[in-house]
């Protein structure tokens, strides 16, 4: 069951479909972004849409499929919690970074991302 939850959540991000990702989140889900702070579950879809607009401003195709590309993904299952680490990139842009996601049978519990950029 956890594997299906993880796959659905990541597929939502891959497609840029915040509703799909939201559908497998736990009731107390939070998303931490270094620029926007902590995003609560009820604000998540709006955040995904804002993130997509940012990617388009950075050069992504408005209808890019996939929206996010994953070059690495590591999943560790321990006790009742799964930890997912992945490297992502907004398709057609230099916008990329890392994410750590926590999941359980109740759904996706939390995601925290970091952005990658070249030093000046």
CATH, residue 56? 3.10.450.50
Candidates 37, 35, 40, 14; CA nearest to 25 is 40
Is the predicted pLDDT of residue 75 greater than 80, yes or no? yes
Is the predicted pLDDT of residue 12 greater than 90, yes or no? yes
Instruction: Tell me the mean pLDDT in the region 66-83.
Output: 94
Cα separation, 29 vs 43, whole angstroms: 11
User: What is the tally of structural domains in the chain?
Assistant: 1
Candidates 73, 74, 84; CA nearest to 107 is 84
Beta-carbon contacts of residue 114 (< 8 Å; ≥ 6 apart): 34, 97, 98, 99
Q: What is the pTM of this model?
A: 0.93
pLDDT digits (tens, 9 = 90+) for 27-48: 999 999 999 999 999 999 999 9
Q: What is the pLDDT of residue 120?
A: 66
Tell me the residue range of the domain where 19 lies. Answer: 2-116
Instruction: Tell me the mean pLDDT in the region 85-108.
Output: 96
């Amino acid at each position: 069951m956890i594997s299906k939850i993880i796959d659905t959540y990541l597929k939502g991000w891959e497609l840029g479909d915040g509703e799909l990702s939201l559908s497998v989140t736990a009731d107390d889900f939070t998303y931490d972004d270094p620029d926007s702070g902590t995003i609560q579950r009820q604000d998540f879809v709006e955040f995904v849409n804002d993130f997509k607009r940012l990617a388009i401003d950075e050069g992504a195709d408005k209808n890019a499929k996939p929206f996010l590309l994953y070059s690495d993904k590591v999943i560790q299952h321990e006790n009742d919690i799964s930890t997912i680490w992945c490297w992502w990139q907004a398709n057609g842009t230099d916008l990329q970074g890392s994410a750590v996601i926590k999941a359980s049978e109740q759904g996706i519990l939390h995601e925290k991302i970091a952005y990658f950029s070249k030093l000046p």
